[in-house]
Amino acid sequence: MSIEKLELVSIAGALPHLNDALTACLQSGVFHIENAAKLLGSAEDAGAGRSDENPYGEALRALSELDLRQAKMNPAAEPLPGEFPPEKILAETERISGSMREVRAELAEIRKKITDYESSAIHLEHLKQADIDLGELVKCRHIVYRFGRMPEESMQKLDFYSDADFVFQSYYTAHEYVWGFYFATPEQITAVDAVMRGLLFERYELPEDISGTPEQALAEMRTRLSEKKSRLTELEQQEKQIYQNEAELLGKMYCAAKYQSEVHKLRSQCVIANGKFNLMGYIPAAEQAAFEKRIEKIPQVTASFEAPWSDSKVQPPVRLKNGWFSRPFSMFVEMYGLPNYNGYNPTPFVAITYTLLFGIMFGDLGQGLVIALIGLILQKKKGITLGGVMARIGISSALFGTLYGSVFGFEEALDPLWEKTGISFLPLHAMENMNVFVYGAVGLGAVIIVISMLINIIVNLRRHNYTEGLFGNNGVAGLAFFTTVMLLIVGLVAGKTIMPTAAAVPVIIVTLLLMFFREPLGHRMAHKRYESEGIADFIAGNFFECFEFLIGYTSNTISFIRVGGFVFSHAGLMAVVMTIADMIGGDQKSIVTVIIGNLIVMGFEGLIVGIQVMRLEFYEIFSRCYDGDGRPFTPVSVSFDDFSESKQSGQTANV
């Protein structure tokens, strides 16, 4: 349950073997590449980033012009060296394209015809009642016609153009539109077109080979449409057959081209100079032996391994190591931000506190077990990480529900069981123990804050950050101040003297002064020179910062009252469900009401409680002891597009 140890790998060799080295790194599945120039510094920048033209770029472009949804992809298969050079891919792609060129040309023409015929059929439907010969209309040379529609309200405006040299004839009115023709001489048609556009006339073209009345033309159009669709099916079958014959070859060529193209892109991360290359990255320390064997197989290439550089401007990436229980909660840590390589892994702490807080806030034996069961199904059947979280918090909810005596909202269901045990204070019914839950929530919050401070102290002292570790508001000084104040408050509430005021006041004063002067004291401890912008600015800035610290201690601690508040909220919601069930009456109706009420509470309140616990984690805990400024460890891989459903979707395969 920590951050996995990495090794910094430096691979060097003759330039002709660079692609072989990159391929070995890809196939290992554990190599996180870094820009070698940035790691090595400006002294090595001369050859960094050199990248000639991608030899597989043209081959990929040619393949993308084909329908790769028909190809049989196997991204996991290792491409054989030299099996598909770019020249061969281009030649095979041209051969496949040539075999279907005529089919594709006719397909394009047929599809356009079908679109035109379907559009014409829709328009002719509006002219069925017209007694005109469309064929004669099309043949006219001295009269030009336009067919289309315009809004009904525009018809009234036609009266303003009664002296214009055109005629409009309407044939059909529907959906606030009028369908018809307007006629004009060839000399006047341009001006008339402008007028009709002003009247919002929408023009539609009729086929030039149309003939007969609109009804006859419509019947003929439907016949043509049926013939074209039949021909379209034949052509699509021919195209599909060609793809079926070439599917395996297409898949191999695409994977090989994409693989080699990605290998070539990685060359930009290397330092290249004088016919040599230097490739750098990180691997898990546990994988060193296996990775070294891969590199040893490449002639004139060597690999060296060392611990990540602590003084490098490029921080090492991070891969978290978590145990069985805490592993699903890493999603919350990654959501906030990974720790840096020299930091600590907060996932176990998150797992414990999140599970504990959710169980307290949503305590119900029956509902907890249902949530756990749903979580297990989502995790095992669907592979959803959140399912693992639900399984754990569901068990916690069930355990606290047992302590509360609540089973699906029946608050007295476990009373007989607890009476037999002889434990007098159990079950802890929420509405009967309000003070216990309120004070307990604040006390639990104070304990979690203290633990967060201890973690912050340890982490910062390891980094030799004395300003935050010793004198900061979350350091030793802040811990002493917060603990002292909390002891005074507990003594005041309990009516007992836990810490004498004579001892507490000096501690509070001293710790406040330490926090006020934290920066100069921290610099002195680290043997560094402290430069202040001025005494007035120093006093004003630190005064308000210390005031902010005091507000933070108060708000962060009080924020945990919500833990107790949601205990009452859950009990209150279930009480409402039971009241409604009693009001409805009838055994069957009452049972249905209780079931529906439980489902609503589990979905609605469960989501809210989950979000509130996450808020406590991020704002009250992480803000005190965690930075989240790390980079994820991402081994280099080739991303193969998945064309099975959409050309734009993708899957990543480590090869």
Tens-place pLDDT, residues 266-307 = 888 898 888 899 999 999 999 999 999 999 999 999 999 999
Tens-place pLDDT, residues 513-556 = 999 998 888 888 888 888 877 888 888 888 888 988 899 888 88
- When pLDDT is cut at 50, 70 and 90, the band that residue 586 belongs to is low
Q: Are residues 42 and 128 in the same domain?
A: no
pLDDT of residue 643: 55
The reply to whether 78 falls in a domain is no
Q: Are residues 397 and 450 in the same domain?
A: yes
The tally of domains found in the chain comes to 3
pLDDT of residue 372: 95
Weakest-pLDDT range from 40-49, 122-131, 143-152, 490-499: 40-49
Q: Percent helix, strand and coil across the chain, each rounded to 5?
A: 60, 10, 25
Mean pLDDT of 97-109: 88
Q: Are residues 169 and 300 in the same domain?
A: no
Q: How far apart are CA 487 and CA 479, in angstroms?
A: 12
Q: Are residues 288 and 142 in the same domain?
A: no
Q: Are residues 294 and 426 in the same domain?
A: no
Q: Are residues 28 and 123 in the same domain?
A: no
Mean pLDDT of 590-594: 87
Peptide bond into 427 cis (omega under 30): yes
547 CA to centre of own chain: 38
Q: Specify the DSSP element, H or E, that contains 500.
A: none
Tens-place pLDDT, residues 472-488 = 889 999 999 999 999 99
Q: Are residues 225 and 284 in the same domain?
A: no
Weakest-pLDDT range from 15-29, 70-84, 425-439: 70-84
Percent of the chain predicted with pLDDT > 70: 94
Asked whether the predicted pLDDT for residue 605 surpasses 80, the reply is yes
- When pLDDT is cut at 50, 70 and 90, the band that residue 31 belongs to is very high
The reply to whether 289 falls in a domain is yes
Structural domain of residue 405, as residue ranges?
A: 347-625
Final residue belonging to a domain, choices 229, 262, 285: 229
Q: Are residues 388 and 512 in the same domain?
A: yes
Which of 371, 398, 376 shows the shortest CA–CA distance to 388?
A: 376
Reported in sequence order, the residue ranges of 116-219 that DSSP labels E, i.e. its strands, are 144-151, 166-174, 177-184, 202-203
Tens-place pLDDT, residues 220-238 = 888 888 999 999 999 989 8
pLDDT of residue 395: 96
The reply to whether 125 falls in a domain is yes
Which of residues 429 and 161 earns the better pLDDT score? 429
- When pLDDT is cut at 50, 70 and 90, the band that residue 378 belongs to is very high
What pTM, to 2 d.p., does this model score?
A: 0.74
Cβ–Cβ under 8 Å, residues 15 and 275 = yes
The reply to whether 206 falls in a domain is yes
The reply to whether 649 falls in a domain is no
- When pLDDT is cut at 50, 70 and 90, the band that residue 126 belongs to is confident
| Structure tokens belonging to residue 222 | 């439907």
The reply to whether 238 falls in a domain is no
CATH code for the domain in which residue 171 is found: 3.30.70.2750
- Top mean pLDDT of 182-196, 361-375, 411-425 is at 361-375
The reply to whether 265 falls in a domain is no
pLDDT of residue 66: 86
Q: Are residues 396 and 498 in the same domain?
A: yes
Q: How far apart are CA 398 and CA 369, in angstroms?
A: 6
Tens-place pLDDT, residues 174-219 = 878 888 888 888 888 888 888 888 889 988 877 777 778 878 888 8
Q: Are residues 293 and 197 in the same domain?
A: no
Q: Are residues 15 and 158 in the same domain?
A: no
Place of tokens 């080979």: 209
pLDDT of residue 644: 47
**Average pLDDT value over all residues in the chain:** 86
Q: Are residues 488 and 415 in the same domain?
A: yes
Tens-place pLDDT, residues 43-62 = 444 444 445 678 888 998 89
- When pLDDT is cut at 50, 70 and 90, the band that residue 367 belongs to is very high
